[in-house]
Structure 1
Amino acid sequence: MESLTPRSTTPTEDPPRAAAPGEPTESSPALDNTKVHVNDGTAIPAEEKKKNKNKKRKPAAKKRGTGFEEYYCDPPMTPAEYMEERQVLYPPHRPFIERIVECIQRFRARRRLDSYRNDLFSKYLMLGGIDATARQFQGTDKITDDVLADADKSAVREMTAEDVIQRGVGGNTNPRFFNPNDAEHWSVDFTGVAAGFLDSSEHIPSLMGRNEADIRKAAEVVSSFLRYVDMHDVCPEYADDIKRARKVCDFAVEETPILNKLSQLLPGHFNTSLRVLFVKDDADNEVFCVQDDQVPDVKQAKVSHATTMSIVVPEQVQNTSASAVISTSTVIGTKEQTYEVRAITLPTETQRAMYKAVNRHLSGQGSIPEIQPCGTINTRPIIIRDGWDNSATATIPLEEDVDTQFILEEDILKLLRIGMKLRLRVCTLSTGLKFIQHVRQVLPTFYVFLPQELMLDFKAPVENDRPAKSIHDIGSDGDDECAED
């Protein structure tokens, strides 16, 4: 029987084994995935090295939403958050001022407002009487660590907030903004503030003009805030007012391109033709609307006048010729007035057919362009407030408070909306016909002027004990200017 001897424990290198057909040899380092030798002589398993590489890679940063995406909605609230809002933050018994300030601060925390949107939102709040001006020494870096350690998120947000309603305590009051101790001159009006901020004549257009993208972004900021107020039930007593304010935001986006187009088309070819025929001195440097079309010559103006008058208002030219009307008519009055659109009447199918027949006849002549079908609008004189002293006391005489009709082309009538305001220079002919000489301004349906607009740049006077300079002070402080009597 063969004796058994113990195997030596000394590590020895196994003899090389012949590789099977198609099997890589052990001497090939590129195919050896069991060990990898580094410069220091240590061996690191390849699998472990692969894991270390994966650990070093940092995941790509997730792109956070701003809260203003088209289909963005707030995440659902937990039961605890819901009860906190109903019982602590926005209960009905809590004063409205405290609720709305809490809501504004939380809205800013929930939305990623870039510098542009942040500036728009601050101006919107300031127009509503809320102090949103930047304050010095009010940031987390100015608060000590022990205070931050004992304060929760709500307390820190309140300490660093820039949106406040002044209480007027200790003389800390600013006449530019709302003061609860002087509330008889203020009222809660979400619709009015949204309209005053977004209308295409006062606040936003004075900052950025009638740029449709900018108006859309401003309306987006206001609408998002109003939706937040409505969703969290901050002030249910003003729920209907908030819904109307959100509609104003929609109107602003819808009407801005319409106003831009109307400013190019008004007063239309027919009214321009009457201006050519009846207004001799037409020097005016304050025209707001500039037409795309060229001013017609006298021949074109006569054809446009005769065609439209005989089709739209035939009662004014019956039993007489168009040339006789032109020769006998004169301008008997000119007036600057603002009108509100009350009714719009498009041309009928019969009238369109008559215009088509006239254009077919004129097409043979070649020199006269095609005449567009015309309809009418009924307007009413109104007074709009604009901050000037004369608008505060202006009234409309009783004899002038009647409907006024104007003739306009169909493409203009399709753009106009009932409720739009038109600041016009109107001429009255001896026949009683009124036509538009110039258009000063086109205002949206939701136009409103807020007195707070006048206070945004107000600076309270400061007492100065220094006496005024006199003729004897010349040269005493290095001033070489000479006084003139």
Structure 2
Amino acid sequence: MSLITETAPSSKVATWTESVHAPHPQASEILRQVDYYFSEENLVSDPYLLGFTGKEGTNPVSLSLIMGFKKMKQFRPKTAVREVLKHSTVVEVVDTGHIRRRYPLGRPLLVKPLIDVNRYKKALAENQHLTKGMLKPTGFEKNAVEGPIRPEEYEEDRKKYDPEESFVTRIELAVTNFCARRKMHQGTRKIFTDLLHLGGFSNVHQFQGMSKKEQKRQGVELDDIADFKICDEVENAYYAEWEDGEKGDWVVDFESLAKSFLSDVFLREYPWYDEQQVKMATMVLRNFYNYLLLHNVCPEYEDQLEAARMICDVAETELPKLAMVDQSLPGAFNSACSTLCGGSYTDVHISQDGWASGCDNMGLSRQEAKVIIGVGVAAYGSREQIEKLAPVLSGDAGLKYTSSHKLGLVVVNVEPPNDYAKAAYNQLREHEGVDKYVHPMGKLHCKRWDMPFEPPTDLPKAARVVDTASFEFLVEESTLQYCIPGMKIEATIRELDVGLQYIDSIEATYPSFYTWLPNEVVGRWKEPGPPKTWMQRQQAQRDGKALDQVRDSTSNHDGGQDDGEFSDGGPD
């Protein structure tokens, strides 16, 4: 999180950090100017640029458009400008012709985006890399409705999805029919394919369906497209524990599958900071579940499908908040403790006279850190803690910590700033410049979370100690408003010698519905093939060494008999 607010470019040009290898002689000016265009201070009040970036500020924008701005016309060529922007912390280069803001806007808009309908359609096609044909209805639109179906169609579905048939047969047919009635582009197809892989489908083909022209040419009806299978088979990807040496029955769990995909796979493989990407993912999943319910594909799992649809709603609401939490933690107070404690944020500070631009995260100076810690301890600390910290805050001594642990945390409660904390903050605001890095703080209450991917322990269950320890951290109100009970954090925490706990660094954040399934491991496993030639050579060498060891040990045991007693084929 940037602790210094973004400012417009000044007359003083910052020094490029890699001046010898700078892609452009005016690299510093390019960075400062483009970062300012996309900064929160400017973008929330720029109706023209908002018309391209959208309300969240993260839609891709043509680099040619930006270079057409009055202050950018002096910078050429385009390729060099693009290379410079790869070093920006505010924008990212999407492809050879587009850039976009890295994170959604965290402030409310001050103006209404100026959107031209014709320009919007053209920008949509460019940004999503779609053809004109792909702008036609796909079946995935938000208001797209399939149904109600006629009685004769219902009877046909009963024949196709006969409950007497195995679940595997019905779900394979349903997936194929679903794809035949949808027009998928690259993004929606990848989401659906990854969901199928996680659910146990093997060898999923990139099935796009047949156009009406192709159907007419080959004389194929829409219902006959089901003969073109989208997958080879459904694997038993999620087994129960083995009992008596035999595999248990494999589990069908639509709800857990939706949780695992949206909380694990999606966060690892997709740009989940982009709210539009979140909406696309939940839309694809929800559309598939609606199809299964409408056509009564698996009535025995109707409750699970309803629960899976609810997970899509939860994800669409929670993931944008998680993105804000992931972006802003550990926050100013915790960063201040880390700065004075020899932690992750020590020596990160860069003075405003250095090379960094105003929108970079320049860390905290020791004086800024002392002010932030002083306000937090004054608002929430005990008299004893205030007295112990007084020498540190008034001198050059650093903080000391007694323990440091990397562990999982789950949020149990969010406590907003109390009246005393708000009063302390308001009093400090009278000092010029302090309000840039001192903000009202509340408490984030957490408890230990056992991460599913932690190293296993060899202790039996009876000997394991249940960790019931609770943690509380001072966090800024601007971050607490996005925290939800149940959210999970992988972090390094430290306890100061004065009894305060702080978050030194954040490794990862997870939504409240985070679920890990062993399907991910099984899906990546492949049947080993025959040994290669080099494998056979190594095995032969190992076998030869093993035979030599047997000869030596036998010789020593028998008092040193002749090595020639044995041949490669064994004893004579």
Fold shared per TM-score above 0.5: yes
CA distance in 2, matches of 1:269, 1:281: 13
Any idea what SS the aligned residue of 1:202 has?
A: helix
Contact 2:272 2:319 in 1 (8 A): no
Q: Which residue of 2 aligns with 1:275?
A: 338
Give how far 1:214 is off: 2.7
Give how far 1:66 is off: 1.0
Give how far 1:120 is off: 2.1
Moved more, 415-424 or 116-125: 116-125
CA distance in 2, matches of 1:425, 1:440: 8
* CA spacing shift, 1:122–1:463, aligned 2, 3 Å: same
* CA spacing shift, 1:354–1:157, aligned 2, 3 Å: same
1:38-53 alignment runs, 5 A limit: none
Is residue 246 of structure 2 the alignment partner of residue 246 of structure 1?
A: no
* CA spacing shift, 1:275–1:119, aligned 2, 3 Å: closer
CA distance in 1, matches of 2:524, 2:149: 41
Is residue 196 of structure 2 the alignment partner of residue 196 of structure 1?
A: no
Contact 2:142 2:283 in 1 (8 A): no
Give how far 1:157 is off: 3.5
CA distance in 2, matches of 1:349, 1:465: 72
2:408 to 332, 338, 359: 338
Give how far 1:391 is off: 5.1
Q: Which residue of 2 aligns with 1:373?
A: 440
Is residue 380 of structure 2 the alignment partner of residue 317 of structure 1?
A: no
CA distance in 1, matches of 2:488, 2:203: 32
Give how far 1:299 is off: 1.8
Deviations 1:124-176 (A, max 9, x none): 1111012242399xx99xxxxxxx99x9865x43431123535xxxxxxx676
Moved more, 227-236 or 428-437: 227-236
Give how far 1:370 is off: 5.4
Is residue 428 of structure 2 the alignment partner of residue 358 of structure 1?
A: yes
Give how far 1:464 is off: 3.1
Matched to 1:353, the amino acid is A
1:457-472 alignment runs, 5 A limit: 457-464=524-531, 466=533, 468=535
Q: Which residue of 1 aligns with 2:180?
A: 109
1:219 to 259, 282, 303: 282
Q: Which residue of 2 aligns with 1:127?
A: 198
2:495 to 428, 431, 435: 428
Contact 1:274 1:305 in 2 (8 A): yes
RMSD between aligned residues: 3.9
Give how far 1:275 is off: 1.2
Contact 1:385 1:392 in 2 (8 A): no
Matched to 1:443, the amino acid is Y
CA distance in 2, matches of 1:267, 1:458: 37
Q: Which residue of 1 aligns with 2:293?
A: 230
Contact 1:342 1:418 in 2 (8 A): yes
Matched to 2:227, the amino acid is M
Give how far 1:67 is off: 0.7
Q: Which residue of 2 aligns with 1:83?
A: 155
Q: Which residue of 1 aligns with 2:170?
A: 99
Contact 1:300 1:368 in 2 (8 A): no
Give the TM-score, by structure 2 length.
0.58
Is residue 489 of structure 2 the alignment partner of residue 418 of structure 1?
A: no
CA distance in 2, matches of 1:315, 1:250: 46
Any idea what SS the aligned residue of 1:184 has?
A: coil
Contact 1:338 1:382 in 2 (8 A): yes
Deviations 1:233-255 (A, max 9, x none): 32233222222211222233333
Q: Which residue of 1 aligns with 2:451?
A: 384
Give the TM-score, by structure 1 length.
0.68
CA distance in 2, matches of 1:393, 1:159: 51
Q: Which residue of 2 aligns with 1:206?
A: 269
Any idea what SS the aligned residue of 1:309 has?
A: helix
Q: Which residue of 2 aligns with 1:8?
A: none
CA distance in 2, matches of 1:260, 1:210: 5
Q: Which residue of 1 aligns with 2:519?
A: 452
2:321 to 233, 253, 258: 258
Any idea what SS the aligned residue of 1:456 has?
A: helix
Contact 1:424 1:441 in 2 (8 A): yes
Structure 2, unmatched stretches of 5+, are 1-132, 212-217, 349-358, 541-572
* CA spacing shift, 1:212–1:280, aligned 2, 3 Å: closer
Any idea what SS the aligned residue of 2:520 has?
A: helix
Any idea what SS the aligned residue of 2:309 has?
A: helix
Q: Which residue of 2 aligns with 1:24?
A: none
Deviations 1:401-440 (A, max 9, x none): 2211111010110011111111111111122211011111
Number of corresponding residues? 380
Give how far 1:110 is off: 2.0
Contact 2:411 2:444 in 1 (8 A): yes
Structure 1, unmatched stretches of 5+, are 1-60, 141-147, 167-173, 286-290, 474-485
Identity within the alignment, %: 24
1:306 to 374, 381, 388: 374
CA distance in 2, matches of 1:273, 1:333: 17
Give how far 1:341 is off: 0.4
CA distance in 1, matches of 2:347, 2:313: 35
Q: Which residue of 1 aligns with 2:364?
A: 296
Which structure has the larger Rg over C-alpha atoms? 1
Matched to 1:406, the amino acid is F
* CA spacing shift, 1:432–1:78, aligned 2, 3 Å: same
